[in-house]
Amino acid sequence: MPLFAIAAHKVIEHKDWVLGFGLCKNVDFSEIDAFSVRDIRDLRNMREHQKDYFSGEGVVADRWRIEMPEYSADASSVVGTMIGGRLNYAAFGAAAARLLPRLLDEPVPFPQRQGPANSQVR
């Protein structure tokens, strides 16, 4: 599951990237936006540096463990569908799967070429 946290963070990074370029204006990202960016970023960082956290040297050690009324977890754990007690991988994966067809329907913009009108792409 460490790679899932990295992939989830990449989805959010790329969403911000395309929106920053004015692309995918008609795509509804609200399902992805419902997930905590901070939690996903924390999981990505903490899971990439687990050794540091296990040895007590993690950068944000106060966020390594999460205490909830129903459970307690650290960022390295997977309990049911929850990674580190913060990210429901089944729910995020389902949201991303529903988003994909909408993204694939978006036009792919190509930059306008400079030069003679009859120039060919090589």
Is 89 part of a structural domain of the chain? yes
Is 118 part of a structural domain of the chain? no
Q: What confidence category does residue 1 fall into, taking pLDDT thresholds of 50, 70 and 90?
A: low
H or E segment to which residue 87 belongs: strand 87-88
Is 49 part of a structural domain of the chain? yes
H or E segment to which residue 4 belongs: helix 2-20
Q: Which domain holds residue 68?
A: 2-104
pLDDT above 90 for 103: yes
In this prediction, residue 50 carries a pLDDT of 84
pLDDT above 60 for 119: no
Is 115 part of a structural domain of the chain? no
Number of separate domains in the chain: 1
